[in-house]
Structure 1
């Protein structure tokens, strides 16, 4: 999703492209890699495109801000008198292969991921419907997945049945199954009934944990007059129930640097070292386990550092209040309600800065302002079958301006946010293609920031994610993201932190070092949060092979809160960090859903307890076997079921595992 580094592969959304194959070259520029997949051999040059832009291509432009899931219009080319769209950000991997369709990998996915995919599709329905392309989601070959993320190959217009016969077929229309053709061509416009019909083939291979619920959702979709929000809330409830089955581990680190050239630092972020040692107590509260923020005081505005600090402090207070409210209220809030609350907190912070500007008589470019990217891991409590509660694994992400968020795993780096700048504005208004807008002298000028105007004119972007795989959420100012530093460096740094080969703070320091070399003209700030899904099955380990402190780290999951104030050991020896850098804080969820710190002791006492517990279990197993052997005629008491009779509480597949993901 990085506009300065176009995807090397393009999807050609027209059936005429099928006549070309590797190694054909089209228009002396585009190398054909596979059917409908071309590569621009001269990406530094403006791509060809038709002017004025045809109206049937407007949806690709107006939905530009949804590029986490949707392709973008790269350009157009004429073939045999037809205008052929060239799409970037299509679901194509680095080797030039299409990502699999949802149906192709459906049976192998965990119940959490299956529900998450459907929830994303349902949330795409409204924006696509408003742009007249909801039929896009009805074509199985068009809905593809990259890990947790649903990605669309190309758009299909919603047309009356009488008009469909005259419409030129899309690039994949000739590849559709008979059932898919029936769904798409049945009527107009696209309906929830058609969406239900497109989901019905998923039922036979749905995980047993969600199969009956999926049947209910399909019935809801077929029910005339039932509001989409009602269906979405029902689907969300089961999604949270599935996601909460696994404990959540969190490690967070943050740092900010002035940069090589600037004379002062206008960035502010949370958490950093100063936040951990406040009042002389490490981790006085649990805020940094759930809340992270990066603000970049806008260069050229007086008091940028003041604005960024005000935003951080205001939003910290409001996040703490929201977390306290969640802890006291067992009622689970819907994503829409949480988004509204987070947008409201951002507007409050905006008004605080704007009021300061007004009080000081600041006008125009003298008004202090700041960008914002923040995340809130909302620990809503989901009831479990044994009477306990679990963390809902929800991650809310909000941003204003060009500070970014990335989700990084051992397999991919995904930019989650779209910059609020002139380029985005011009494309979303269908006034320009992205490459043309980038040629404007004001291309990177921000279209909104905190403090520049009244809150009613502010439009924060708030989205909800579900944590269902191991990964790092990176929040950063443009000093870290400019020059494609993250895109070019993530694979050499972040996977080792996820695997535990280096500490998270060492990984963040390396990213900042690389950014300082390339973007030293700006302040550089980042907060990295590593989310880990605890394995559902016990793992046999050799304690003698574990590094110092690891034994206690592996088993000390339910340590009381009052004993959790010692500093954690880092994962490896690293050089001393600057005062602005924060040692990684590791926490993990207990059976009550509360995130707690791990102790840094040797863990000898816990090892002894573990050995005693193992011996006790062994004795119980021997007694059980003796009872079975001596009384084969009697039934096993309900209070002592055999392992074969015990139904596992969680599904058999890990929520973050994928086919072919073994390392």
Structure 2
């Protein structure tokens, strides 16, 4: 089946257009010039920009079988590889690092250069191979050696162009099917799919756990005595070693990456893939400077790959038959310092010595030591920030359908972070807010003739800079209301609530921390009073009384407060998944909280009737739910009216329409428009409003210095 790139609808393979939204399934727009190009094209015919979908293929020969395999493709292939083309070779996992890349510090180090061997084609057998598979879906961009040149167990890495990128692979179809099965299976069981190579199974086991450090697997199969897996292509990612070479890299950053490697060690240990952390060329940084792995390596007996000759180059000597231990990780860290010629600093030097001597033997012990080192490197708290000093303020009020409000608060960053290096994984180091992006959009929907939704965004940044200190603070007030009461009713109530709350917090939020529970609660009651008084003044009664729901989020640096009344919701999305933060104030939920079974509670005819709303009753009867929490990892918050949240829309489509928006490079404007389009497709019976707030954090490393 073909998966629509826009609405993710499943289409028959013969479809040229999505039968749900009409999107072309044979052409796509060039990201550079906008021209329509075939989805199978490698580059745009108009501007020449590369526009293909590329995977990293890892091909290995079955270690058990020594017989000749059949050719990968039919003999009559139309496009032979050119004579001077090359292939990328990755040595067998039984070969040590020294055999693969040598000593990186002893050669010219070019950013993004390949850390693997390059071999020129000489065998005439290679010329006949242009596709990796007999279906001619995966076109080889690098050539593959002949079967005779492959040794059992040796791995070869080649890039392939996906000529049919919208077609779901058999592997993913089987994997998704097992995930959606009524009888839930464990990750280990899900990998037991016929024909899948053994070395693909660790990827599948980690696939559903959303570890961004591990490349996603796209497909896998066996062909004769060859095994093939296709992975997310990370071959052009920056090396972690390059960061060690950078003078701007601080000691605290180094400790942070060691903590991340320590976490990965725990993840990979049950799968016997800790060797992945022992290959320097495998340690990469993605576009947001997150530590990631290019691929997984199965463990093999430790060799003394870190032993060095007198000239400093790594030596390949006979492997020792001892298991991979935590001491090996310490040797990798030592190698990072030695190959970058960077000086080790005191506390970390002692940690490496303790690892070498065996005084530290567990990841838990390492983590405790690294936490202590990070604490010592932490700067003193900066001076209190004056609200009026160097402040920038933006205020946005929107109610018209199809209107977008967008503001990006990009805090001043050190030079090493100019390329959006704000996506560092968050483990145990104190976090600071790095960027705060937001966008709001409201739409009338497909069935209503007017929009009763309203949202407001009020943000402020404060900065202070001293010769030896720098601090940044951000404040954001995000309010979404879904009105009720018809023309000159619901839309009046929702707007009045937003404006009242913004005015209230301009007076009662004039300090550098979140307002307390009492202040927030009083603000909600003031909004209720404003609408209630207007109802009284106009002598409105019964169903004629106007009202509105409310969901409101207050952000102060990494601290968040949430208040809500009614069924407008707040969701929180991290790389772990999506969570509904608020609980609807409606009869069905009230009954569930009283212990009634959900199916019984929502069988009531009044199950969706609101138990609370702003405006119809006086403020003494309003009891908003208020929560406080801290942002400890990159988070996307979604404020949603019920036109967006109905029918579990976000819970169903978060992986396709929300999770990509966590990336710094993702366009929130485009994302919120696609979200509204999705709601119009599946709901559309009501007004639709979304406010997205992307909070990016990083370890507090501003005062760290290179030792």
Question: Which structure carries more helix by proportion?
Answer: 1
User: Which one has more relative contact order, counting CA pairs under 8 Å at least 6 apart?
Assistant: 1
Same fold (TM over 0.5): no
The two structures have a TM-score, normalised by structure 1, of 0.40
Question: Which structure carries more strand by proportion?
Answer: 2
Of structures 1 and 2, the larger Rg is shown by 2
The two structures have a TM-score, normalised by structure 2, of 0.38
